[in-house]
């Protein structure tokens, strides 16, 4: 006996828009879009960059920046062509050695004398370390700089080892951390006014490890209907798990109020992505907040989980992978979506696609279908501004949450409170400093 489940497929890659004043500047692939049209946001002319590096690597980093400006075979015309701006190195900060302590010393010296309003991005050369280790130059420098309002971009020996494509990834990350919008979706997502990627219980370290009682932070990334990242907000103080619903209320209320101010309308259809399964209390808490603030609303609770062993295969593709954009229905409102399987827009894949298990619940009534959600999630995989690769597994809602989760596990409570204090938040919350 054969058993079946039903499947479906998104036939066409979502298009991206590369000019906010020209709706014809569209392309399905980031690389070709930037090369042909430049970025969505063409208002940035110069990016003020600080380089922080050990002395023996400084020349390499400066050369890299020069090449970003002048261009490379993959990136002909460099920053002026691809991002319509130039990078200006305004300061060089030396690090005595490759040890974490040396990086901390240089970073503290720098933040104590500089003003974040005069710097767009700090480019830091660091040794390659595992992201699972917390006491590393990556996490320490990122935390020290962010807690004083400086977005940073890290590069390692690996960046230089594979420079061909790294140039463009690096350029895009620097551009977005300087406040630019490199690209957005061409079309609005169906029936979505406001999209949130939320995390309400990321454990935060206390001096790089959990304290006597584990403490948590919550944060939210808000996107508009074109998938454009709008801002980041985090709970002001770490809290204990029993207080998570209060923190969810605080986060959501602040995010909606801010969305209303920036967009000048009340969002009606709100979609919230969460990388865990929604609990009943959490859903009710969201509904209560929306009732208080908006009254007239629809909300979609979407959980996107990749910590499962479910796989799909397609024997008709060269490697047996299920093509990108294909999905299978596990239940009426639950699908398994492939985002990194076989596709004509990218030839290089590694391993078996890890599928996204997506569940949809709605309140008070249905306003979006699970097929719409599949398309929405696939579209959102194309909005990671830190890479131009056409194959990204996670939607940006989930990806940004995960990046911040890694950071919270490694940075201290004190760093977190600095990052979320108003004078720093006003600089950082419009820039994706965590990617």
The residues that touch other proteins, with contacts defined as CB under 8 A, are: 1-7, 130, 132-135, 208-214, 308-322, 326, 328, 330-331, 336, 341, 349-353
* Beta strands across the sheet bearing 16-17: 26-27, 16-17, 184-185
Nearer to other proteins, 250 or 403 (CB): 403
Nearer to other proteins, 161 or 261 (CB): 161
Angle CA(329)–CA(333)–CA(337) in degrees, nearest 5?
Answer: 45
Nearer to other proteins, 182 or 353 (CB): 353
Smallest separation, CB 106 to other proteins (Å): 22
Nearer to other proteins, 269 or 321 (CB): 321
Smallest separation, CB 425 to other proteins (Å): 29
Q: What DSSP string runs through 80-142?
A: HHHTS-EEEEEEEEEESSSSHHHHHHHHHHHHHH--GGG-SEEEEE-----TT-SSSHHHHHH
Q: Which residues contact 56 (CB under 8 A, 6 or more apart)?
A: none
Smallest separation, CB 8 to other proteins (Å): 9
Smallest separation, CB 211 to other proteins (Å): 7
Nearer to other proteins, 53 or 340 (CB): 340
Nearer to other proteins, 20 or 128 (CB): 128
Q: Which is nearest to 120 in space by CA: 141, 90, 97?
A: 90
| CA–CA separation, 261 and 234 (whole Å) | 18
Rg, Å, the chain Cα set = 22
What's the maximum distance between 2 C-alpha atoms anywhere in the chain? 73
Q: How far apart are the first and last CA of the chain?
A: 48
Smallest separation, CB 405 to other proteins (Å): 16
Smallest separation, CB 72 to other proteins (Å): 29
| CA–CA separation, 416 and 234 (whole Å) | 9
Q: Judge whether 24 and 30 are in contact, CB under 8 Å.
A: no
Smallest separation, CB 338 to other proteins (Å): 10
Nearer to other proteins, 285 or 378 (CB): 378
Phi-psi label, residue 246: left if phi above 0, alpha if psi -120 to 50, beta otherwise: alpha
Nearer to other proteins, 269 or 339 (CB): 339
Q: Judge whether 242 and 249 are in contact, CB under 8 Å.
A: no
Q: Judge whether 377 and 369 are in contact, CB under 8 Å.
A: no
Smallest separation, CB 152 to other proteins (Å): 22
């Amino acid at each position: 006996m054969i058993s079946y489940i039903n499947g479906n497929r998104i036939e066409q890659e979502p298009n991206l828009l590369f000019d906010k004043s020209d709706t014809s500047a569209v392309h399905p692939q980031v690389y070709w879009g930037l090369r042909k049209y430049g970025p969505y946001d063409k208002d940035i002319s110069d990016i003020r960059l600080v380089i922080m590096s050990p002395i023996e690597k400084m020349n390499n980093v400066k050369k890299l920046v020069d090449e970003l400006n002048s261009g490379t075979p993959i990136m002909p015309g460099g920053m002026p062509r691809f991002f319509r701006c130039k990078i200006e190195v305004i300061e060089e900060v030396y690090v005595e050695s490759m040890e974490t302590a040396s990086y901390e010393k240089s970073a503290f010296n720098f933040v104590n004398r500089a003003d974040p309003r005069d710097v767009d991005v700090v480019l830091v050369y660091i040794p390659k370390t595992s992201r699972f280790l917390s006491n590393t130059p990556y996490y320490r420098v990122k935390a020290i700089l962010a807690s004083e309002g400086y977005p940073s971009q890290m590069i390692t020996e690996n960046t230089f080892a594979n420079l061909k494509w790294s140039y463009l990834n690096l350029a895009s990350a620097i551009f977005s951390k300087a406040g630019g919008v490199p690209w957005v979706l061409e079309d609005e997502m169906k029936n979505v006014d406001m999209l949130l990627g939320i995390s309400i219980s990321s454990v935060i370290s206390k001096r790089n490890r959990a304290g006597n009682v584990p403490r948590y932070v919550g944060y939210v990334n808000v996107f508009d209907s074109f998938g454009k990242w709008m801002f980041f907000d985090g709970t002001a103080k770490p809290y204990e798990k029993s207080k998570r619903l209060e923190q969810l209320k605080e986060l959501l209320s602040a995010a909606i109020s801010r969305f209303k101010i920036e967009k000048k309308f009340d969002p009606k259809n709100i979609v919230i992505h969460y990388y865990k399964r929604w609990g009943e209390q959490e859903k009710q808490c969201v509904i209560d907040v929306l009732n208080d603030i908006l009254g007239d609303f629809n909300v979609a609770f979407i959980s996107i989980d990749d910590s499962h062993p479910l796989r799909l295969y397609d024997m008709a593709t060269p490697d047996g992978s299920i093509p990108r954009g294909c999905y299978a229905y596990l239940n009426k409102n639950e699908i398994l979506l492939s985002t990194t399987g076989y596709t004509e827009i990218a030839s290089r894949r590694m391993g078996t696609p890890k599928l996204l298990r997506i569940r949809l619940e709605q309140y008070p009534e249905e306003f979006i279908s699970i097929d719409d959600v599949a398309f929405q999630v696939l579209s959102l995989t194309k909005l990671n501004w830190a890479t131009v690769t056409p194959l990204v597994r996670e939607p940006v809602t989930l990806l940004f949450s995960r990046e911040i989760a890694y950071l919270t596990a490694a940075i201290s409570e004190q760093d977190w409170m600095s990052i979320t204090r108003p004078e720093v938040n006003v600089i950082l919350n419009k820039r994706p400093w965590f990617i």
